[in-house]
Structure 1
């Protein structure tokens, strides 16, 4: 086989391979919406004291779970008058969860409303995926979703669309952007989609993990 025939054969193989992947990508795009702009999320709750004083007891560290109504800590309040004895106030869990971050230090002075720890219900995590505005009309609540999480290579999770955002991510920015130059560049906006997990397959998911989702149209 001469050199020209070898080159021709290579070109034909490349065209066939490229055509296969091109057709496959076209078929996939017709059936699914896929994005890598997705993360594991949870409803985070700040834990703090309703009263000012000294944190005389703190019972939970990061990773500890608690139930609704559990006493997480005790604050000794500052007497309003010199001859008034100090009293104690319990910091009680409004909902069950797990401490995922703690800044509480025993005997520190605390202010009312200041966060001593953050918690989340690790049994109620979900996925937030940000879809392009040109894609969001292709999906609806209830659509099935296949999920891959970077921390668990080779594992596939399933879920379904629970909620589609009513505004783009940029619309929730505290500071609006202004254009004073007179130039304008259109930027594709992204809309958050909440995906409920069917289960965790025994894996311990935590908020913030990166994910890739494929949503059936």
Structure 2
């Protein structure tokens, strides 16, 4: 194994496009069915929000915006929700990919289309392959909720990482879920 042939990172994980189920209006959440692991179809009714308007309590339907599997459930029957509140986050298990974070000092060796050897920690005896489909245009710290600031005046340069999206060529029947740790070896 010649490491000069690869850009290798273990700062990588299985990822997927998030599908967020939100409250369409403010009110009391009822009939909530989107629990962890639940498979959703696009437009499926997953609950209702009872709107408090005087004596009447009309109910607004909560629908899944797309098909997916619930990974995070924030919905609680009987709780008050505000319009736009995230009730659940799902992902499409047939459309998972790898997000590999490559150090800025090595990113010039990474190009769209390059072959990637993928090792998923949960399945160490099953090597996968993929290819680079996207290189983000900013360092991860730029998009952080809490930006890096230096109020002490003692500047210390820190190597940044750039997110690289890797499509998985053949999942080989593995049950890959977002968050699984991965080692990615990108061929130069």
Give the TM-score taking structure 1 as reference length: 0.80
- In the TM superposition, 1:168-183 aligns within 5 A as 168-173=139-144, 174-178=146-150, 180-181=152-153, 183=154
Distance 1:93 1:103 in 2: 14
SS for the counterpart of 2:69 is: strand
Counterpart position of 2:12:
38
Counterpart position of 2:52:
78
Q: Are the structure 2 counterparts of residues 93 and 213 from structure 1 closer, same or farther at C-alpha, using a change threshold of 3 Å?
A: same
Distance 2:157 2:147 in 1: 19
Counterpart among 103, 107, 113 of residue 84 in structure 2? 113
Counterpart position of 1:167:
138
Q: Which has the larger radius of gyration?
A: 1
More strand by share: 2
Distance 1:153 1:89 in 2: 47
Distance 1:180 1:57 in 2: 52
Identify which range, 38-47 or 155-164, moves more after superposition.
Answer: 38-47
Deviation at 1:176, TM superposition (A): 3.4
Provide structure 1 residue ranges, at least 5 long, that are not aligned to the other structure: 1-23
Q: Deviations over 1:14-63 (max 9, x none)?
A: xxxxxxxxxx5xxx233211111111111223322111122221123211
* Contact 2:12 2:184 survives alignment (8 Å): yes
Distance 1:61 1:180 in 2: 46
Counterpart position of 2:162:
191
Deviation at 1:78, TM superposition (A): 0.9
Distance 1:71 1:186 in 2: 50
Q: Deviations over 1:158-207 (max 9, x none)?
A: 110010011111222342312543x4433222111111111321111111
Give the TM-score taking structure 2 as reference length: 0.91
Provide structure 2 residue ranges, at least 5 long, that are not aligned to the other structure: none
More helix by share: 1
Counterpart position of 2:111:
140
SS for the counterpart of 1:167 is: strand
Deviation at 1:102, TM superposition (A): 1.1
Counterpart among 28, 41, 45 of residue 67 in structure 1? 41
SS for the counterpart of 1:170 is: helix
Q: Are the structure 2 counterparts of residues 31 and 49 from structure 1 closer, same or farther at C-alpha, using a change threshold of 3 Å?
A: same
